[in-house]
Structure 1
Amino acid sequence: MSIWRGQQKLILASQSRARNILLENAGFDFEALPADIDERAVQQHSGRTAPGEIASLLSCEKALFISRQKPGQYVVGADQTLALGQRMFSKPAGRVQAAEQLGLLAGQVHELHSAVAVARDGKILFSDVGVARMTMRPLTENQIKAYLDQAGDAVTTSVGAYQLEGLGVHLFERIEGDHFTILGLPLLSLLAYLRSEKLLAV
Protein backbone atom coordinates (compact mmCIF):
# COMPACT_ATOMS: atom_id res chain seq x y z
CA MET A 1 0.00 0.00 0.00
CA SER A 2 1.40 3.37 -1.06
CA ILE A 3 1.83 6.23 1.37
CA TRP A 4 0.80 8.62 -1.43
CA ARG A 5 -2.58 10.24 -0.86
CA GLY A 6 -2.91 12.30 -4.01
CA GLN A 7 -5.95 11.66 -6.21
CA GLN A 8 -3.69 10.83 -9.17
CA LYS A 9 -0.39 8.97 -9.26
CA LEU A 10 2.78 10.91 -8.49
CA ILE A 11 5.17 11.35 -11.43
CA LEU A 12 8.97 11.44 -11.27
CA ALA A 13 10.40 13.35 -14.23
CA SER A 14 13.65 11.39 -14.22
CA GLN A 15 15.14 8.17 -15.55
CA SER A 16 17.78 8.11 -12.80
CA ARG A 17 17.96 4.66 -11.26
CA ALA A 18 19.09 6.11 -7.92
CA ARG A 19 16.16 8.53 -7.74
CA ASN A 20 13.71 5.82 -8.70
CA ILE A 21 15.05 3.56 -5.97
CA LEU A 22 14.89 6.35 -3.37
CA LEU A 23 11.18 6.93 -4.04
CA GLU A 24 10.46 3.20 -4.18
CA ASN A 25 12.21 2.63 -0.84
CA ALA A 26 10.22 5.52 0.65
CA GLY A 27 6.99 3.65 -0.18
CA PHE A 28 5.82 5.58 -3.23
CA ASP A 29 3.78 4.08 -6.05
CA PHE A 30 4.74 6.43 -8.87
CA GLU A 31 5.30 6.72 -12.59
CA ALA A 32 8.70 7.64 -14.05
CA LEU A 33 8.53 9.83 -17.15
CA PRO A 34 11.90 11.32 -18.18
CA ALA A 35 11.67 14.92 -19.36
CA ASP A 36 12.96 15.37 -22.89
CA ILE A 37 14.67 18.73 -22.56
CA ASP A 38 18.00 20.01 -23.86
CA GLU A 39 19.68 20.68 -20.52
CA ARG A 40 22.73 22.44 -21.94
CA ALA A 41 20.59 24.72 -24.12
CA VAL A 42 18.34 25.61 -21.15
CA GLN A 43 21.40 26.38 -19.04
CA GLN A 44 23.07 28.53 -21.71
CA HIS A 45 19.89 30.44 -22.49
CA SER A 46 19.36 31.24 -18.81
CA GLY A 47 22.80 32.79 -18.42
CA ARG A 48 23.13 31.23 -14.97
CA THR A 49 26.55 30.01 -13.89
CA ALA A 50 26.21 29.15 -10.18
CA PRO A 51 26.00 25.35 -9.77
CA GLY A 52 23.08 25.49 -7.32
CA GLU A 53 21.09 27.86 -9.52
CA ILE A 54 21.65 25.65 -12.56
CA ALA A 55 20.53 22.53 -10.70
CA SER A 56 17.43 24.37 -9.47
CA LEU A 57 16.61 25.68 -12.94
CA LEU A 58 16.90 22.26 -14.56
CA SER A 59 14.87 20.49 -11.88
CA CYS A 60 12.09 23.05 -12.39
CA GLU A 61 12.22 22.77 -16.17
CA LYS A 62 11.97 18.97 -16.02
CA ALA A 63 9.00 19.11 -13.66
CA LEU A 64 7.26 21.74 -15.78
CA PHE A 65 7.85 19.82 -19.02
CA ILE A 66 6.03 16.76 -17.75
CA SER A 67 3.37 18.63 -15.75
CA ARG A 68 2.16 20.37 -18.91
CA GLN A 69 1.48 16.93 -20.39
CA LYS A 70 -0.20 15.52 -17.28
CA PRO A 71 -2.94 17.91 -16.05
CA GLY A 72 -3.77 17.69 -12.36
CA GLN A 73 -0.84 15.45 -11.46
CA TYR A 74 2.03 16.29 -9.12
CA VAL A 75 5.38 16.00 -10.89
CA VAL A 76 8.77 15.79 -9.19
CA GLY A 77 11.79 17.08 -11.11
CA ALA A 78 15.39 16.72 -9.97
CA ASP A 79 18.86 17.63 -11.14
CA GLN A 80 22.40 17.53 -9.81
CA THR A 81 25.53 19.49 -10.62
CA LEU A 82 29.13 18.84 -9.63
CA ALA A 83 31.54 21.72 -9.16
CA LEU A 84 35.24 21.81 -8.37
CA GLY A 85 35.77 25.45 -7.49
CA GLN A 86 34.43 27.39 -10.48
CA ARG A 87 34.62 24.41 -12.82
CA MET A 88 31.47 22.41 -13.47
CA PHE A 89 31.46 18.81 -14.62
CA SER A 90 29.05 16.92 -16.87
CA LYS A 91 28.56 13.19 -17.31
CA PRO A 92 31.70 11.80 -18.98
CA ALA A 93 31.26 10.76 -22.61
CA GLY A 94 33.39 7.65 -22.17
CA ARG A 95 36.24 6.01 -20.29
CA VAL A 96 38.88 8.53 -21.39
CA GLN A 97 36.88 11.51 -20.16
CA ALA A 98 35.96 9.65 -16.97
CA ALA A 99 39.66 9.11 -16.25
CA GLU A 100 40.34 12.81 -16.87
CA GLN A 101 37.58 13.85 -14.47
CA LEU A 102 38.77 11.51 -11.75
CA GLY A 103 42.31 12.77 -12.18
CA LEU A 104 41.11 16.35 -11.61
CA LEU A 105 38.91 15.44 -8.62
CA ALA A 106 41.46 13.19 -6.90
CA GLY A 107 42.78 14.71 -3.68
CA GLN A 108 40.34 17.63 -3.95
CA VAL A 109 37.08 18.73 -2.33
CA HIS A 110 34.17 19.15 -4.74
CA GLU A 111 30.52 20.05 -4.21
CA LEU A 112 27.36 18.32 -5.31
CA HIS A 113 24.30 20.54 -5.67
CA SER A 114 21.10 18.49 -5.83
CA ALA A 115 17.82 20.22 -6.61
CA VAL A 116 14.23 19.07 -6.42
CA ALA A 117 11.06 20.75 -7.68
CA VAL A 118 7.38 19.91 -7.61
CA ALA A 119 5.08 21.15 -10.38
CA ARG A 120 1.40 20.83 -11.15
CA ASP A 121 -0.50 22.15 -14.16
CA GLY A 122 2.56 23.99 -15.46
CA LYS A 123 3.33 25.81 -12.21
CA ILE A 124 6.18 25.29 -9.74
CA LEU A 125 4.79 24.67 -6.26
CA PHE A 126 8.02 23.86 -4.41
CA SER A 127 11.77 23.83 -4.98
CA ASP A 128 14.84 23.23 -2.87
CA VAL A 129 18.58 22.70 -3.28
CA GLY A 130 20.84 20.58 -1.06
CA VAL A 131 24.65 20.73 -1.00
CA ALA A 132 27.20 18.04 -0.16
CA ARG A 133 30.97 18.42 0.10
CA MET A 134 32.93 15.43 -1.15
CA THR A 135 36.62 14.86 -0.39
CA MET A 136 38.12 12.42 -2.86
CA ARG A 137 41.29 10.67 -1.76
CA PRO A 138 44.50 11.05 -3.78
CA LEU A 139 44.55 8.53 -6.62
CA THR A 140 47.32 7.25 -8.85
CA GLU A 141 46.80 6.56 -12.55
CA ASN A 142 46.89 2.83 -11.81
CA GLN A 143 44.24 3.19 -9.10
CA ILE A 144 42.01 5.15 -11.45
CA LYS A 145 42.50 2.51 -14.13
CA ALA A 146 41.63 -0.27 -11.67
CA TYR A 147 38.50 1.56 -10.60
CA LEU A 148 37.38 2.13 -14.19
CA ASP A 149 38.02 -1.53 -15.02
CA GLN A 150 35.74 -2.57 -12.16
CA ALA A 151 33.03 0.07 -12.65
CA GLY A 152 32.67 -0.36 -16.41
CA ASP A 153 30.09 1.65 -18.35
CA ALA A 154 28.37 2.81 -15.16
CA VAL A 155 30.92 5.66 -14.91
CA THR A 156 29.21 7.43 -17.82
CA THR A 157 25.82 7.59 -16.10
CA SER A 158 26.62 10.25 -13.47
CA VAL A 159 28.67 13.40 -13.11
CA GLY A 160 32.11 12.81 -11.63
CA ALA A 161 32.21 9.24 -13.01
CA TYR A 162 31.12 7.63 -9.76
CA GLN A 163 28.11 6.30 -7.87
CA LEU A 164 28.67 6.61 -4.14
CA GLU A 165 26.15 3.83 -3.48
CA GLY A 166 28.36 1.46 -5.50
CA LEU A 167 32.06 1.14 -6.28
CA GLY A 168 32.45 4.92 -6.12
CA VAL A 169 32.61 4.74 -2.33
CA HIS A 170 36.22 3.52 -2.66
CA LEU A 171 37.24 6.92 -4.06
CA PHE A 172 36.45 8.99 -0.98
CA GLU A 173 38.00 9.78 2.39
CA ARG A 174 35.43 12.26 3.70
CA ILE A 175 31.83 13.20 2.98
CA GLU A 176 29.84 16.13 4.41
CA GLY A 177 26.19 16.24 3.51
CA ASP A 178 22.86 14.53 3.34
CA HIS A 179 22.89 10.98 1.93
CA PHE A 180 19.88 11.67 -0.29
CA THR A 181 21.41 14.87 -1.63
CA ILE A 182 24.51 12.92 -2.64
CA LEU A 183 22.34 10.42 -4.54
CA GLY A 184 20.65 13.26 -6.42
CA LEU A 185 17.35 13.90 -4.63
CA PRO A 186 16.92 16.05 -1.47
CA LEU A 187 14.32 13.62 -0.21
CA LEU A 188 13.75 14.97 3.30
CA SER A 189 12.73 18.43 2.13
CA LEU A 190 10.56 16.89 -0.60
CA LEU A 191 8.76 14.71 1.94
CA ALA A 192 8.28 17.68 4.27
CA TYR A 193 6.61 19.64 1.47
CA LEU A 194 4.34 16.77 0.42
CA ARG A 195 3.41 16.20 4.06
CA SER A 196 2.53 19.88 4.50
CA GLU A 197 0.11 19.52 1.58
CA LYS A 198 -1.56 16.48 3.23
CA LEU A 199 -0.34 14.27 0.37
CA LEU A 200 1.33 11.62 2.54
CA ALA A 201 -0.15 9.09 4.92
CA VAL A 202 2.85 9.21 7.25
Structure 2
Amino acid sequence: MLILASQSTARRAMLDAADVPFTVVAAHIDESAIRGSLHAEGTTARDIADALAEAKAMRVGARRPESMVLGSDQILETAEGDMLSKPQTPDDAIRQLEALSGKPHRLWSAAVIVEGGRPIWRHVEKAVMHVRPLGSAFVRDYVDKHWETIGYTVGCYEIEGPGAQLFSQIEGSYFAVLGMPLLPLLGFLRERELMPT
Protein backbone atom coordinates (compact mmCIF):
# COMPACT_ATOMS: atom_id res chain seq x y z
CA MET A 1 0.00 0.00 0.00
CA LEU A 2 1.10 3.54 -0.77
CA ILE A 3 2.08 5.85 2.10
CA LEU A 4 1.37 9.56 1.71
CA ALA A 5 4.07 11.54 3.53
CA SER A 6 1.89 14.60 3.99
CA GLN A 7 -0.77 16.01 6.28
CA SER A 8 -2.37 17.98 3.45
CA THR A 9 -6.13 17.52 3.44
CA ALA A 10 -6.27 18.44 -0.27
CA ARG A 11 -3.79 15.69 -1.22
CA ARG A 12 -5.61 13.15 0.93
CA ALA A 13 -8.92 14.14 -0.65
CA MET A 14 -7.48 13.74 -4.17
CA LEU A 15 -6.22 10.22 -3.45
CA ASP A 16 -9.47 9.27 -1.70
CA ALA A 17 -11.58 10.56 -4.60
CA ALA A 18 -9.46 8.58 -7.09
CA ASP A 19 -9.88 5.36 -5.02
CA VAL A 20 -6.15 5.07 -4.34
CA PRO A 21 -5.44 2.78 -1.36
CA PHE A 22 -3.07 4.64 0.97
CA THR A 23 -2.20 5.47 4.54
CA VAL A 24 -0.79 8.72 5.92
CA VAL A 25 2.47 9.15 7.82
CA ALA A 26 3.54 12.76 8.45
CA ALA A 27 7.10 13.54 7.34
CA HIS A 28 7.90 16.34 9.83
CA ILE A 29 10.65 18.05 7.84
CA ASP A 30 11.72 21.68 8.26
CA GLU A 31 10.33 22.92 4.95
CA SER A 32 11.25 26.56 5.50
CA ALA A 33 14.90 25.69 6.26
CA ILE A 34 15.20 23.50 3.16
CA ARG A 35 13.45 26.07 0.99
CA GLY A 36 15.60 28.90 2.34
CA SER A 37 18.85 27.00 1.86
CA LEU A 38 18.01 25.97 -1.71
CA HIS A 39 16.78 29.47 -2.58
CA ALA A 40 20.05 30.95 -1.26
CA GLU A 41 21.93 28.59 -3.59
CA GLY A 42 19.95 29.89 -6.56
CA THR A 43 17.80 26.78 -7.02
CA THR A 44 14.76 27.34 -9.23
CA ALA A 45 11.24 27.26 -7.80
CA ARG A 46 10.51 24.12 -9.85
CA ASP A 47 13.51 22.30 -8.39
CA ILE A 48 12.72 23.44 -4.86
CA ALA A 49 9.24 21.91 -5.14
CA ASP A 50 10.84 18.68 -6.37
CA ALA A 51 13.44 18.68 -3.58
CA LEU A 52 10.82 19.24 -0.87
CA ALA A 53 8.66 16.42 -2.24
CA GLU A 54 11.70 14.12 -2.22
CA ALA A 55 12.72 15.18 1.30
CA LYS A 56 9.26 14.26 2.64
CA ALA A 57 9.24 10.89 0.88
CA MET A 58 12.79 10.08 1.97
CA ARG A 59 12.09 10.97 5.62
CA VAL A 60 9.14 8.56 5.85
CA GLY A 61 10.78 6.05 3.50
CA ALA A 62 13.74 5.72 5.89
CA ARG A 63 11.32 4.43 8.53
CA ARG A 64 9.27 2.33 6.09
CA PRO A 65 11.75 0.97 3.48
CA GLU A 66 9.39 -1.88 2.52
CA SER A 67 6.72 0.58 1.36
CA MET A 68 6.24 2.97 -1.53
CA VAL A 69 6.18 6.46 -0.02
CA LEU A 70 4.74 9.48 -1.82
CA GLY A 71 6.02 12.96 -1.03
CA SER A 72 4.47 16.02 -2.61
CA ASP A 73 4.97 19.75 -2.40
CA GLN A 74 4.01 22.96 -4.15
CA ILE A 75 5.82 26.26 -4.66
CA LEU A 76 4.22 29.54 -5.74
CA GLU A 77 6.48 31.68 -7.93
CA THR A 78 5.39 35.25 -8.62
CA ALA A 79 5.67 37.02 -11.98
CA GLU A 80 8.79 38.70 -10.58
CA GLY A 81 10.39 35.34 -9.72
CA ASP A 82 9.87 35.54 -5.95
CA MET A 83 8.57 32.58 -3.96
CA LEU A 84 5.70 32.97 -1.52
CA SER A 85 5.22 30.92 1.65
CA LYS A 86 2.01 30.25 3.54
CA PRO A 87 0.78 33.44 5.24
CA GLN A 88 1.33 33.63 8.98
CA THR A 89 -1.40 36.17 9.76
CA PRO A 90 -4.49 37.64 8.06
CA ASP A 91 -2.47 40.82 7.34
CA ASP A 92 0.12 38.59 5.62
CA ALA A 93 -2.64 37.09 3.49
CA ILE A 94 -3.93 40.52 2.51
CA ARG A 95 -0.43 41.63 1.49
CA GLN A 96 0.08 38.46 -0.57
CA LEU A 97 -3.22 38.81 -2.41
CA GLU A 98 -2.60 42.50 -3.10
CA ALA A 99 0.84 41.60 -4.52
CA LEU A 100 -0.68 38.90 -6.77
CA SER A 101 -3.58 41.11 -7.92
CA GLY A 102 -3.82 41.64 -11.68
CA LYS A 103 -0.82 39.43 -12.49
CA PRO A 104 -0.09 35.83 -13.45
CA HIS A 105 1.92 33.57 -11.17
CA ARG A 106 3.18 30.00 -11.43
CA LEU A 107 2.40 27.04 -9.20
CA TRP A 108 4.93 24.20 -9.30
CA SER A 109 3.46 20.93 -7.98
CA ALA A 110 5.87 18.06 -7.45
CA ALA A 111 5.50 14.43 -6.44
CA VAL A 112 8.23 11.89 -5.69
CA ILE A 113 7.87 8.22 -4.81
CA VAL A 114 10.56 6.53 -2.75
CA GLU A 115 10.96 2.78 -2.33
CA GLY A 116 13.76 0.89 -0.64
CA GLY A 117 15.44 4.13 0.40
CA ARG A 118 15.69 5.71 -3.06
CA PRO A 119 13.49 7.74 -5.41
CA ILE A 120 11.90 5.57 -8.12
CA TRP A 121 9.49 8.08 -9.71
CA ARG A 122 9.05 11.85 -9.86
CA HIS A 123 6.96 14.38 -11.73
CA VAL A 124 6.62 18.17 -11.63
CA GLU A 125 3.74 20.09 -13.20
CA LYS A 126 3.26 23.81 -13.70
CA ALA A 127 0.00 25.72 -13.56
CA VAL A 128 -0.20 29.40 -14.48
CA MET A 129 -2.73 31.31 -12.41
CA HIS A 130 -4.04 34.64 -13.74
CA VAL A 131 -5.31 36.69 -10.81
CA ARG A 132 -7.91 39.27 -11.78
CA PRO A 133 -7.48 42.83 -10.49
CA LEU A 134 -8.70 42.63 -6.89
CA GLY A 135 -10.33 45.52 -5.04
CA SER A 136 -9.04 46.28 -1.53
CA ALA A 137 -12.48 45.85 0.07
CA PHE A 138 -12.92 42.49 -1.68
CA VAL A 139 -9.51 41.26 -0.46
CA ARG A 140 -10.18 42.25 3.16
CA ASP A 141 -13.64 40.71 3.14
CA TYR A 142 -12.34 37.53 1.49
CA VAL A 143 -9.56 37.12 4.08
CA ASP A 144 -11.91 37.93 7.00
CA LYS A 145 -14.45 35.34 5.86
CA HIS A 146 -12.05 32.56 4.85
CA TRP A 147 -8.91 32.94 6.98
CA GLU A 148 -9.52 29.63 8.78
CA THR A 149 -9.07 27.70 5.52
CA ILE A 150 -6.87 29.92 3.35
CA GLY A 151 -4.33 30.44 6.14
CA TYR A 152 -2.95 26.98 5.43
CA THR A 153 -2.51 27.52 1.70
CA VAL A 154 0.22 29.08 -0.39
CA GLY A 155 -1.28 32.03 -2.27
CA CYS A 156 -4.19 32.30 0.18
CA TYR A 157 -6.73 30.49 -1.93
CA GLU A 158 -8.56 27.22 -2.23
CA ILE A 159 -9.51 26.92 -5.87
CA GLU A 160 -12.18 24.33 -5.07
CA GLY A 161 -14.06 26.93 -3.01
CA PRO A 162 -14.47 30.72 -2.90
CA GLY A 163 -10.86 31.10 -4.07
CA ALA A 164 -12.13 30.54 -7.62
CA GLN A 165 -13.33 34.16 -7.46
CA LEU A 166 -9.72 35.38 -7.49
CA PHE A 167 -8.94 34.27 -11.03
CA SER A 168 -9.72 35.30 -14.59
CA GLN A 169 -7.94 32.31 -16.15
CA ILE A 170 -6.03 29.17 -15.18
CA GLU A 171 -3.62 27.30 -17.44
CA GLY A 172 -2.71 23.76 -16.45
CA SER A 173 -4.04 20.82 -14.51
CA TYR A 174 -6.68 21.37 -11.84
CA PHE A 175 -4.92 18.73 -9.74
CA ALA A 176 -1.62 20.60 -9.97
CA VAL A 177 -3.43 23.65 -8.62
CA LEU A 178 -4.70 21.56 -5.70
CA GLY A 179 -1.11 20.53 -4.94
CA MET A 180 -0.25 17.23 -6.66
CA PRO A 181 0.22 16.00 -10.26
CA LEU A 182 -2.47 13.35 -9.84
CA LEU A 183 -2.90 12.00 -13.38
CA PRO A 184 0.80 11.13 -13.93
CA LEU A 185 0.82 9.60 -10.42
CA LEU A 186 -2.17 7.39 -11.26
CA GLY A 187 -0.41 6.28 -14.44
CA PHE A 188 2.64 5.19 -12.44
CA LEU A 189 0.51 3.37 -9.87
CA ARG A 190 -1.20 1.45 -12.69
CA GLU A 191 2.22 0.49 -14.11
CA ARG A 192 3.12 -0.90 -10.67
CA GLU A 193 -0.25 -2.69 -10.49
CA LEU A 194 -1.34 -0.77 -7.40
CA MET A 195 -4.35 0.47 -9.36
CA PRO A 196 -6.60 -1.41 -11.79
CA THR A 197 -5.85 -1.14 -15.50
Same fold (TM over 0.5): yes
- Following the alignment from structure 1 to structure 2, what is the Cα–Cα distance between the partners of residues 152 and 198? 41
- Following the alignment from structure 1 to structure 2, what is the Cα–Cα distance between the partners of residues 45 and 150? 35
- Following the alignment from structure 1 to structure 2, what is the Cα–Cα distance between the partners of residues 157 and 107? 23
1:35-46 mapped onto 2 (5 Å cutoff): 35-46=27-38
- Following the alignment from structure 1 to structure 2, what is the Cα–Cα distance between the partners of residues 107 and 173? 9
- Following the alignment from structure 2 to structure 1, what is the Cα–Cα distance between the partners of residues 37 and 58? 17
Contact 2:127 2:177 survives alignment (8 Å): yes
- Following the alignment from structure 1 to structure 2, what is the Cα–Cα distance between the partners of residues 41 and 149? 29
- Following the alignment from structure 1 to structure 2, what is the Cα–Cα distance between the partners of residues 190 and 29? 13
Offset, 1:96: 0.3
What residue number does 1:120 align with? 115
RMSD: 1.1
Unmatched segments (≥5 aa) in structure 2: none
Contact 1:95 1:155 survives alignment (8 Å): no
* SS of residue paired to 1:34: coil
- Following the alignment from structure 1 to structure 2, what is the Cα–Cα distance between the partners of residues 113 and 96? 25
* SS of residue paired to 2:151: helix
What residue number does 1:60 align with? 54
- Which residue type is aligned with residue 20 of structure 1? R
- Which residue type is aligned with residue 55 of structure 1? A
- Following the alignment from structure 2 to structure 1, what is the Cα–Cα distance between the partners of residues 132 and 146? 17
Offset, 1:33: 1.2
1:166-185 mapped onto 2 (5 Å cutoff): 166-185=161-180
Percent sequence identity over aligned pairs? 38
What residue number does 1:146 align with? 141
Q: Does the alignment pair 1:79 with 2:86?
A: no
- CA separation of 1:48/1:187 partners in 2, compared to 1, >3 Å: closer, same or farther? farther
Q: Does the alignment pair 1:97 with 2:89?
A: no
- Following the alignment from structure 1 to structure 2, what is the Cα–Cα distance between the partners of residues 139 and 77? 34
Select which of 158, 176, 190 maps to 2:153. Answer: 158
Offset, 1:48: 4.5
Contact 1:60 1:116 survives alignment (8 Å): yes
Q: TM-score, normalised by structure 2?
A: 0.95
- Which residue type is aligned with residue 77 of structure 1? G
Unmatched segments (≥5 aa) in structure 1: 1-8
- Following the alignment from structure 2 to structure 1, what is the Cα–Cα distance between the partners of residues 102 and 19? 38
- Following the alignment from structure 2 to structure 1, what is the Cα–Cα distance between the partners of residues 44 and 177? 18
After superposition, the C-alpha distances for 1:82-103 in whole angstroms (9 at most, x for unaligned) are: 0113111000001000000000
Q: Which runs of 4 or more aligned residues in structure 1 lie more than 3 Å from their structure 2 counterparts after TM superposition?
A: none
Q: Does the alignment pair 1:187 with 2:189?
A: no
Q: TM-score, normalised by structure 1?
A: 0.92
- Following the alignment from structure 2 to structure 1, what is the Cα–Cα distance between the partners of residues 147 and 118? 40
After superposition, the C-alpha distances for 1:120-172 in whole angstroms (9 at most, x for unaligned) are: 12100001100000001101110101111221221210101111011101111
- Following the alignment from structure 2 to structure 1, what is the Cα–Cα distance between the partners of residues 36 and 134? 33
